[in-house]
Structure 1
């Protein structure tokens, strides 16, 4: 039996969801919450398999609660169920650890199957949401590329060496090191050594 907690601030919505899910022989609604914090408390107390989480509730933000439930290591997966599908909402939910992002216009059978899929460890996304994520990834700027020598220079800078020390280590003039750094700054879109190292680490270039 798959145990579910519903989190939505509208009682009518919760009643409808309960009716849809309870009609399935393998699904059971074990708790209802009207806010994010209430959902967190029920997730900790009841240890359900799934929390169906609305995004915008006056008693507490669903995304923030999703993040806290995920960070707590509770044995449940959070699936967002909302009417909102803006890029910002979708990205915030995914970054918070949501196992899925569904819209409230889906049919009963689709909702039930999505819950089952989430319990199996799959990521469940409404088709329009999946499309938005794909578009977002396609639009993402290509990661900057550094030459082998630029990487070598930046690694030594990251170790705390001065330009002169980097030059001696690589057997090049200090002016050559400065030239490499200027090129690195331009590729990474930064203005100083610290920002260059930080950005390179974040981008997985070092």
Structure 2
């Protein structure tokens, strides 16, 4: 941090959040917000050709779940530290983010002083959390399950189930047999540990795995 500013990228689908965070970070002498993006595809294209020290990444984006985007970013640029920056405070999402390579998880009500400490910690190789996130992950995990890993087809069928489509309708639209669709639905129930489709959808919504 001695001779150059730390390059920071912000990824959030709310411009007002981006501007607020940019102003806070740029007020610090060693930080420079080099770019901001409102979608995951934009930041992926950017980091393929630019060196970035820190990425502040929201969970909810219009084209991809933030935890999955974190995994993609780390696959492209292992040296970039990704700090999740979100209003989502579910313990399972925090844990999944770290499992996917995030260097930390900070809630959006965090102060600038905490942000600075977390950035410095992440650059030193630490896993960082704001005080509120520390309290969340320190609580006992009562039957908290990790976010299921779904295949592309399972994600597609999950979305269609959430839209209220029957197996026959899904099979018709995807050019599959109804038996194949039923098999995928059973696999989804098992992965979410759900008893029925209603519980499946509720759990998927909680995990932010269904598009609005």
TM class by smaller structure: 0.5 to 0.7
Matches within 5 A, 1:84-163: 84-136=88-140
The offset of 1:9, in angstroms, is 0.6
Task: For 2:89 and 2:38, locate their aligned partners in 1 and report how far apart those are by CA, in whole Å.
Answer: 21
* CA distance in structure 1 between the partners assigned to 2:42 and 2:74 by the alignment: 15
Q: What is the CA deviation profile of residues 81-122 of structure 1, one whole-angstrom value per residue up to 9, with x for unaligned ones?
A: 001110221122111110000001011222122112211111
**Aligned-pair RMSD on alpha carbons?**
1.9
In structure 2, the partner of 1:33 is 37
Out of 33-42 and 96-105, give the one that drifted further.
33-42
Select 1:55's aligned residue among 45, 59, 70.
Answer: 59
Cα distance in 2, alignment partners of residues 85 and 106 from structure 1? 13
Tell me how many residue pairs correspond in the alignment.
140
In the alignment, the residues of structure 2 paired with residue 64 and residue 82 of structure 1 have an alpha-carbon distance, to the nearest angstrom, of 14
Q: Which residues of 2 match residues 186-205 of structure 1 at below 5 A?
A: none
1:78 to 62, 76, 82: 82
TM-score (norm 2): 0.61
Structure with greater helix share of residues:
1
* Deviation digits for residues 162-194 of structure 1 (CA, Å, limit 9, x no counterpart): xxxxxxxxxxxxxxxxxxxxxxxxxxxxxxxxx
What runs of 5+ residues in structure 2 fail to find an aligned partner? Answer: 145-212
Deviation at 1:139, TM superposition (A): 7.8
Report the TM-score, using the length of structure 1 for normalisation. Answer: 0.63
Q: Decide whether the 8 Å contact of 2:53 with 2:80 is kept in 1.
A: yes
**2:73 counterpart residue number:** 69
Note the C-alpha offset of 1:61: 1.5
Larger Rg belongs to? 1
